[in-house]
Amino acid sequence: MHLLEVKDLKIHFKIEDGWVEAVDGVSFYLDAGETLGLVGESGCGKSTTAFAITQLLPKNAYIKGGSIVFKGKDLLKYLKKDGTIRLFDERMRKLRWSEISIIFQGAMDAFNPVYRMGKQIEEAMYAHPEALPRTLGPVGEETARRPSKELREAVRKRVEDLFDVVGLPKDRVDNYPHEFSEGMRQRALIAMALTLAPSLIIADEPTTALDVITQYKILKEMADIQKRYRTSMILISHDVSAVAELADRMAVMYAGRLVEIAAPLDLFMNPCHPYTGGLLVTIPTIKGDKEAMMARIQSMPGSPPSLVNPPPGCRFHPRCPIAKDICSKAVPEPVEVDPGHIVWCHKVRTESEGNEW
């Protein structure tokens, strides 16, 4: 059994004049201790997928189909009839932070501006007494409603330790969110996600606000934590190189759908989907000729399609250099080109069946 299995997930947003088909048939799985990198252009549905798993979707989101099975339980079973989710489902609240935690994309949004940083992380711990023994040992077993001095000290120490882990000075624990820089808030958020040692961490652009040195350290730290606790992770980013360093498998998303899943090495050495190929060529570098780099960056023509009126068939076909008739007519079915390497593309499918494209 996989830790998490997402099948044919469809999430559409209702807006004034229609629907945004933000996620439209996404399927993937994740095993314990594994890291899945989710990459793709801005607006392609990465965060929406994450919010669906944590059930934090906004009110105008409608789940149009599919399932999300976590540890054998279908998280979407408690859907309301109209397809929306019960936002304050008590069961989900318990899962959040202690079983599944999310590092949000906008770090400022995630903190309450009127409480001190450390306090907010402590509160998250007290709110989940069931998870305390796991992270604090025997002290954590006492009731958190009226914490003893000992428990309070243990919780405090855990917060300070986590600050250490993410490289924040301990003397800033009692600062307010606005007193932190963007990258510091981001790191505090990572600390918060780690507090209860959950089995799944979803990190939405965890390092975009960070400089390369901090990024390097945080990613390394996250890899360590993951090994230590066998935590699974979904790492969302538009930065393919950063994700590639940590992920066991990478899923490339385009306009609300997956186009390719593969181990980083396979993806880089043998990208099969034309979009993946294009994406990899455009990765900028600081080495080599500047003019050549500029030319490469601009080599992918066009922009991602509207998700309100998405193109029929393969959503990449208007930009695809090798598209044929069928591409605008039928949605491509997945093909496994190598074990674990899955591609959604008519050309790849045709060729895998021994026919010429």
Ligand X SMILES: Nc1ncnc2c1ncn2[C@@H]1O[C@H](COP(=O)(O)OP(=O)(O)OP(=O)(O)O)[C@@H](O)[C@H]1O
- Binders of other proteins in range 266-325 (CB under 8 A): 268, 279-280, 282-287, 290, 293-294, 297-298, 300, 303, 306, 308
* Among 78, 2, 6, 8, residue whose Cα is nearest residue 33: 2
**Rounded Cα gap, residues 167 and 218, in angstroms:** 8
The contact set with ligand SF4 (CB under 6 A) reads 273-275, 314, 316-317, 320, 322-323, 327, 332, 345-347
Q: Which is nearer to ligand SF4, 28 or 316 (CB)?
A: 316
**Rounded Cα gap, residues 346 and 70, in angstroms:** 31
Q: Which is nearer to other proteins, 301 or 339 (CB)?
A: 301
Q: Which helix (H) or strand (E) holds 53?
A: helix 46-54
Residue 239: Cβ-neighbour burial (10 angstroms; 0-12, 13-18, 19+): middle
- Answer for which of 29, 127, 156, 214 binds other proteins (CB under 8 A) is 214
- Binders of ligand X in range 104-163 (CB under 6 A): 105
* Length, in residues, of the chain: 357
- Answer for which of 126, 216, 341, 352 binds other proteins (CB under 8 A) is 216
- What DSSP letter does each residue of 60-106 carry, written as one string? TEEEEEEEEEETTEEGGGGB-TTS-B-TT-HHHHHHHHHTEEEE-SS
- Calculate the CA 293 to chain-centre distance: 29
- Residue in this structure with the two tokens 């929406």, named with its chain if needed: 48
* Sequence-separated (6 or more) residues with CB below 8 Å from residue 167: 187, 214, 217, 218, 221
Q: Which is nearer to Mg ion, 120 or 186 (CB)?
A: 186
* Minimum CB distance to ligand X, residue 183 (Å): 3
Q: Which is nearer to ligand SF4, 30 or 348 (CB)?
A: 348
Structure tokens at 91: 């069961």
**Rounded Cα gap, residues 179 and 33, in angstroms:** 35
Binding mask 166-205 for Mg ion (x = CB under 5 A): ---------------xx-----------------------
- Answer for which of 47, 101, 135, 186 binds Mg ion (CB under 5 A) is 47
* Minimum CB distance to ligand SF4, residue 114 (Å): 49
* Among 234, 210, 310, 327, residue whose Cα is nearest residue 273: 327
Structure tokens at 178: 């606005």
Stretch that binds other proteins, among 89-97, 137-145, 163-171, 188-196 (CB under 8 A): 163-171
* Minimum CB distance to ligand SF4, residue 325 (Å): 10
Q: Which is nearer to ligand SF4, 194 or 343 (CB)?
A: 343
* Minimum CB distance to ligand SF4, residue 116 (Å): 50
Stretch that binds ligand X, among 2-10, 14-22, 158-166, 239-247 (CB under 6 A): 14-22
- Binders of ligand X in range 169-208 (CB under 6 A): 178-184
- Binders of other proteins in range 117-136 (CB under 8 A): none
In terms of DSSP bridges, do strands 249-254 and 100-103 run parallel, antiparallel, or are they unpaired?
unpaired
Q: Give residues in contact with ligand X (CB under 6 A).
A: 13, 15, 20, 22, 42-48, 58, 60, 105, 178-184, 209, 238, 307
Q: Give residues in contact with Mg ion (CB under 5 A).
A: 47, 105, 181-182
